[in-house]
Structure 1
Amino acid sequence: MPEVRPIYASAMNEKTQILFSLLCFSFLLVSPIESNGENLALSCGASEPAADSDKRKWEPDAKFIKSGNSIQATASYQDPSLLSTVPYMTARIFTSPATYEIQVKEAKRHYLRFHFYPSTYTGLDISNSYFSVTANDVTLLNNFSAAITCQALTQAYLVREYSLAPTERDVLSITFTPSDKYQKSFAFINGIEVIEMPEMFDSAVLVGFSDQIADAKAANLQTMFRLNVGGQDIPGSQDSGRLTRTWYNDAPYIFSAGLGVTLQASDKFRIDYQKMPVSTAPADVYKTARSQGPTGDINIKSNLTWMFQVDTNFTYILRLHFCEFQLSKVNQKVFNIYINNKTAQADPTPADIIAWTGEKGIPTYKDYAMYVDANNGGNEISLQMTPSALSRPEYLDSQLNGLEIFKMDSMKNLAGPNPEPSPMQANEATQKEFQNDKKTALIIGSAGGVAMVLAFSLCFTVYQRKRRFPGNDSHTSIWLPIYGNSHTSGTKSTISGKSNNSSHLSNLAAGLCRRFSLSEIKHGTHNFDESNVIGVGGFGKVYKGVIDGSTKVAVKRSNPNSEQGINEFETEIELLSRLRHKHLVSLIGYCEDGGEMCLIYDYMALGTLREHLYNTKKPQLTWKRRLEIAIGAARGLHYLHTGAKYTIIHRDVKTTNILLDENWVAKVSDFGLSKTGPDMNGGHVTTVVKGSFGYLDPEYFRRQQLTEKSDVYSFGVVLFEILCARPALNPSLSKEQVSLGDWALNCKRKGTLEDIIDPNLKGKINPECLTKFADTAEKCLYESGIERPTMGDVLWNLEFALQLQETADGSRHRTPSHGGGSDDFGGGGAVAVHVAGGGIRSEEHDVSDQSDDNGGIFSQIVNPKGR
């Protein structure tokens, strides 16, 4: 245990030291440090000021601590999903009650944000950390465990944001109190932000009780969700009013198959705030929207629905942001709004954006209050929109641009219970992972908003109870980014100490990815010893290696004679340096030195999926494990298609590019052929065909037009490969059986599919599960891409198939990890960022043409369409 560091300076001699200490102590008692009315960001436990990845300055916290002993600590492991080392890699540890005092302006509302990274600090067991936090007289957290919360949400770190009501006090006192219910309990904090904000709240009618008002102006609030509906994530650095709020994409919270369509104004379209404060929401929120779509006959019979899980016995303020940027007349788009199936805004006074604002381009918002009663409806909030038939509008449609949900304090309390990890996560996240073993990186990441496992828990329960979304009991929702960058080790070589980035890579990619020297790689692989080869692919050989003394890695070394060269090398780094997801491989770094090109990944102990399906002496996979692996891979692909900043098409989905870690968690790998697109207005990318025979989308092959549905086709082949345990192509068989995709479809349609499934599985698959699985694979292989399901749809159906199998096996029910709707194809789908590791192994020859311009990797991809 390191020494407790005093918060006052030492002096020249003993007497001076005593006198100086007393003066400092008395000064702290009567004079809290001022923040000068500016935003204050404290990097707790830090000794020097530092800047985060957005160049925002964070200062040490020591001078703001009024009372209590503390320990400055450094995290023993840096999770790759951390967006920045500041403030997360240092912490302030408290073993007894301690208080920060920060001078603020009285009668002003303030944002208070806490940053928690539950790592291992100076030998302390993070699982022992339970504590409470109060701000002045408001309880924000009670018996809180950041470790349990991160485990349940599969996140590496947490951000908790509160909006504190104005008071007559000019001092904000923040007290951390370790729980007395547990031995060796301690409190910790990594970062604190205090931000002066304008008064943005007023009263709101309590939905379902037209005569009752919720006074948010006098309330302390906790931010539960903040969503840029229909648009991409907006980082804090691009927020309006210097409030540094982050707005997340709403897709994870869409209920059922009704994704609707996303709308986007042109970059030149001007948002005119008029009398509304610019700080209400950034212009980008009002330039995107989600609507039901162009088909009025379908819209009038359906809802556009979002589902959120919250703490019970609290009142919530729902702020709905609107801005019309297409229509300009009253009664062109009129719709009803319901919250928890109760009327918020509906006939005879439905929502009409133009009637509210007067013209297009003018934003507005509406606040509604909803009380969530544990005895009447459970821990959920649903938001539904549907066209108003009574008003006979020109277009039968509805629209939402942004959404914020705030929890109001009850008797000066905002604290909720710790979440309970789902049974599925209990299988995937072990205590060892919570100890941050370097060999098994903590499989947790961020989220866009909320507890991603919350949306994960939707599917099966929705199937059983169409209007219900219970999720985990006593779960507290929080919000975090859906995707993030890695700042693992910078670009500095641990041996050479140099940081000369590759001239071929963008500065951002090079800055987010560690660069290794050739000597490091040779040392770690014993000079590329052939005994360490664990795979061979189109790029070159893959070696098992060790870096930093004990961390196992997979090193993919370029073959100078390979058709895959610098373009694939750059593409892999450019993409994976920006992506972090539990079901994607984690790129540790690269080496471009001495004529060598190497990519370094976390080592995947169990190799490729194919190694466990056929032509192997390894034990046969159970059907349930195969389903879980398929679900994991589907999650990774679904994230690529919808969760990252731009749509990403993998273009080489196959069983050798699905890797398995020591816990059987599936990771999608090999992004050298991938395509991305920032401009979502086009329907496809025209490109020379690349991929692997047997998995190629025939429509893509014929027309050379690539969409994300090409990945869906390839994944359909993978599903049949999992079911039948045979290669995608087998030239030794008869003509009609050479292609597994064609042969399986033929057998499926003739009703003889059971004749070709893996003999090891016969009699072990529930018939309903088999039907659902086979139907899903069949739909993936439809000839026309537009008729194929999305990966979100595929994920929902696979989760449901797993539920059918577990029910038949008499297993404990597990809630599916993807938000869905009915028992058929449901859209939406949660995405969470996770740490993922992956060694690379491959055997197929890729279809490749070097005339393809990989400089045009960033191309147009199709918009999501309503179904």
Structure 2
Amino acid sequence: MRGGPRCALLLLVAAAALVPAARAQGATAPAPSAGAPFVPRDDILLDCGATGKGNDTDGRQWDGDAGSKYAPPNLASASAGAQDPSVPQVPYLTARVSAAPFTYSFPLGPGRKFLRLHFYPANYSNRDAADAFFSVSVPAAKVTLLSNFSAYQTTTALNFAYIVREFSVNVTGQNLDLTFTPEKGHPNAYAFINGIEVVSSPDLFGIATPQFVTGDGNSQPYEMDPAAALQTMYRLNVGGQAISPSKDSGGARSWDDDTPYIYGAGAGVSYQNDPNVTIIYPDNVPGYVAPSDVYATARSMGPDKGVNMAYNLTWILQVDAGYQYLVRLHFCEIQSPFTKPNQRVFNIYLNNQTAIEGADVIQWADPNGIGTPVYKDYVVSTVGSGILDFWVALHPDAETKPQYYDAILNGMEVFKLQLTNGSLVGLNPVPSADPPAHSGSGDKKSKVAPIVGGVIGGLAVLALGYCCFICKRRRKAAKASGMSDGHSGWLPLSLDQGRNQKL
């Protein structure tokens, strides 16, 4: 019975912490200042194998590629032998299918573009879905986006109906050529594509210099190659609900709920901006970096110092080993108690390495303070082969003796950087009867592994789990804002998308 008063105190403190969020959900908050939205010069949504026009579930209009200037001539159009009722008809009702290489050619102005490839693996024209193995490349840039790619194996492993792969490529000439090549090593191999998006991208990667994570907290500037291609692995609205492309502020991006990626019971507390807090972009953060809805919600560790000091707020993301990754973290203090430096100070660990110690969002936002968006870019190297669990972890920094021992995050993006040979190729995930267990193993020189180990073996995890369970129940009971803890469809690897529920 000695634990009774302690648990009761935890529940009272947690409930008190939820009052501002519940009040904000029930009130009419002032409209956030969103910064100037980005208007793309090139905005192509191509429904492969279709004729005429059609709208997707987000209300965006797609053009059929039949007779278009983009599609290769004499390329077969096919419909799925059986259409899953959960799969939207646009752009997944039809496909272009071929056992020989084919190329789409897009006349474009120079600059960086988002390239999104949509795949619904099905039996097309008596071809077995499992036989589709192919590569996708951008010959002019000497970049290989996919190789030995199997949409069927990927959707089977991830339990998705369909998937989307998103890339950022730099166009230097007047055309973007996209070549699909069936793999010669597979009998009956063929290539297919259901939909292609080509959307001009704002200057997302040249407006700030990332820091290269060395592991000792003394990160060094990293010069990004302006011509390099990137693959979007994750784009998460931390603490908030999914954001559809039509609600994005630049490039028709989708933002996913972060809850499927949180490690263990330590989910912390999610909330939105106080009614009197308006999101106002500073001059050095363009509105297209992330929509205001990303900065208007957040996840923190919670109100209890003792609990927070005993664990890390952690997300685990599966990535392809052997690549470097650009990790963009979005921050914004949105609750009125946090208005001064050294109130909430924390450390950031990426892939079990120290990225920065003493992160203070209010200090970063100086002189504007609360309601001011901030983002930080880090580049992290990975080694080995296969699929890697990439940890993103936050922990209070006790050395500064802050007023609150807590951490906060509003959004997260992870991009794979191409290798020097132009490869962005990853492995097809292997279907498994049981999901892989996260071992939590990491660099013993990092502060992450010892802390996680302590949580697993200590009583703090029991108190935390109970507290978070109650918090979750309370959040579900007060969902006036529409915030969701459910799965919205974007899971590893590489922004694979199965919109049975919804991006």
What TM-score, normalized to structure 1? 0.45
| 1:260 alignment partner, one of 252, 260, 268 | 268
Deviation for aligned residue 1:205:
2.2
The one of 412, 415, 419 aligned to 1:403: 412
Q: Does 1:114 align with 2:123?
A: no
The residue identity in structure 1 corresponding to 2:212 is L
1:153 maps to 2:158:
yes
* Mapping 1:771-786, distance limit 5 Å: none
How far apart are residue 168 of structure 1 and its match? 2.4
Q: Could you tell me which residue of structure 2 aligns to residue 184 of structure 1?
A: 188
Match among 389, 406, 410 for residue 398 of structure 2: 389
Contact 1:206 1:214 (8 Å CA) reproduced? no
- Code of the residue aligned with 1:113 in structure 2: it is R
2:167 pairs with one of 134, 141, 162: 162
- 2-side partners of 1:119 and 1:383: how far apart? 36
Aligned to 1:40: 44
Give the whole-Å Cα distance in 2 for the aligned partners of 1:197 and 1:267: 32
Residue pair 1:324, 1:362 contacting (<8 A) in 2 also = yes
- The equivalent residue for 1:679 is 480
Q: Distance in 1 between matches of 2:370 and 2:392?
A: 24
Q: Quote the offset at 1:458 in angstroms.
A: 2.8
**What is the rounded CA distance, in whole Å, between the counterparts of 2:387 and 2:486 in structure 1?**
30
- 2:381 matches 1:343: no
Q: How does 1:784-795 map to 2 (within 5 A)?
A: none
Q: How does 1:557-636 map to 2 (within 5 A)?
A: none
Unaligned runs of 5+ in 2: 1-39, 445-470
Match of 1:412 among 387, 399, 422: 422
Residues 1:100 and 2:104 are matched in the alignment: yes
For structure 1, the residue ranges without an aligned partner over 5 or more in a row are: 1-35, 425-455, 469-640, 648-675, 683-789, 793-817, 820-830, 836-867
CA contact (8 A) 1:225 1:405 kept: yes
More helix per residue? 1
In structure 2, distance between residues paired with 1:54 and 1:681: 18
8 Å Cα contact 1:335/1:351 also seen in 2: yes
By how many angstroms is 1:65 displaced? 4.4
Deviation at 1:466, TM superposition (A): 8.2
Q: Does the 8 Å CA contact 1:316/1:406 hold for their aligned counterparts?
A: yes
The answer for the alignment partner of 2:278 in structure 1 is 270
| Paired residues for 1:51-450 under 5 Å | 51-62=55-66, 63-65=68-70, 67=72, 69-82=74-87, 84-106=88-110, 108-135=111-138, 136=140, 137-165=142-170, 167-202=171-206, 203-208=209-214, 210-211=219-220, 213-215=222-224, 217-241=226-250, 243-266=251-274, 269-275=277-283, 276-326=285-335, 327-346=338-357, 350-358=358-366, 359-374=369-384, 379-410=388-419, 411-424=421-434
Residue matched to 2:436: 457
Once the two structures are TM-superposed, the CA of residue 81 in structure 1 deviates from its matched residue by 2.7
Structure with bigger strand share is 2
3-state DSSP of counterpart to 2:400: coil
1:134 maps to a residue whose letter is S
Cα distance in 2 for residues equivalent to 1:159 and 1:390? 44
1:267, distance to aligned residue in structure 2 (A):
6.1
3-state secondary structure, aligned to 2:92: coil
Q: Does the 8 Å contact 1:372/1:380 carry over to 2?
A: no
**Cα pair distance change 1:93/1:338, threshold 3 Å:** same
Give the conservation status (yes or no) of the 8 Å contact 2:161–2:498. Answer: no
The structure-2 alpha-carbon separation of the partners of 1:394 and 1:681, relative to structure 1 and needing over 3 Å to count, comes to: farther
Q: Aligned-pair distance for 1:218?
A: 3.6
Cα distance between partner residues in 2 of 1:457 and 1:90: 34
**Cα pair 2:274 2:334 within 8 Å, conserved:** no
Matches of 1:75 and 1:257, distance apart in 2? 41
**Cα displacement (A) at 1:170:** 1.5
Q: Residues 693-708 of structure 1: matches in 2 within 5 Å?
A: none
Relative distance call for 1:681 and 1:60 in structure 2 (3 A) is closer
Residue 419 of structure 1 deviates from its aligned partner by 1.3
**After superposition, where does 1:764-775 map in structure 2 within 5 Å?**
none
Code of the residue aligned with 2:437 in structure 1: it is L
In the alignment of these two chains, the number of paired residues is: 413
Query: What is the TM-score when the length of structure 2 is the normalising length?
Result: 0.76
> Aligned letter for 2:75?
S
Structure having greater relative contact order (Cα 8 Å, sep ≥ 6): 2
Q: What do you get for the CA RMSD once the two structures are aligned?
A: 3.0
Letter in 2 for 1:183: P
Question: What is the CA–CA distance in structure 2 between the aligned matches of 1:334 and 1:678, rounded to whole Å?
Answer: 29
Preserved contact between residue 319 and residue 387 of structure 2 (Cα < 8 Å): no
- Aligned mates of 2:57, 2:309 — CA distance in 1: 46
Deviates more, 1:186-195 or 1:65-74: 65-74
SS at match of 1:382: strand
Q: After superposition, what is the alpha-carbon deviation per residue over 1:746-773, rounded to whole angstroms, capped at 9, x for unaligned?
A: xxxxxxxxxxxxxxxxxxxxxxxxxxxx
For residues 268 and 70 of structure 1, the distance between their equivalents in structure 2, rounded to whole angstroms, comes to: 57
Quick one: percent identity of the two aligned structures?
42
Task: Say if 1:681 and 1:158 are closer, same or farther in 2 by CA, change over 3 A.
Answer: closer
Q: Deviation digits for residues 292-348 of structure 1, max 9, x if unmatched?
A: 1000122122211111110011000000000011211111111111112211111xx
- Cα pair 2:277 2:370 within 8 Å, conserved: no
Q: Find the aligned partners of 2:232 and 2:301 in 1 and give their Cα distance.
A: 27
Deviations 1:27-51 (A, max 9, x none): xxxxxxxxx9331000000022211
Superposition deviation, residue 380 in structure 1: 2.2
CA distance in 1, matches of 2:186, 2:482: 56
CA apart distance, 1:126: 1.0
Shift in Å, 1:176:
0.6
- Any idea what the Cα deviations from partners look like across 1:56-100, whole Å, max 9, x if unmatched? 111122423464642111112222332x21000110112211111
The answer to whether the 8 Å contact 1:154/1:834 transfers is: no
Measured in 1, the distance between the counterparts of 2:293 and 2:276 equals 11
SS of the residue 2:399 aligns to = coil
Distance 2:77 2:235 in 1: 33
| 1:512 aligned partner | none
User: Are the counterparts in 1 of residues 105 and 176 from structure 2 also a CA contact under 8 Å?
Assistant: yes
Equivalences for residues 428-577 of structure 1 within 5 A: 456-458=435-437, 461=439
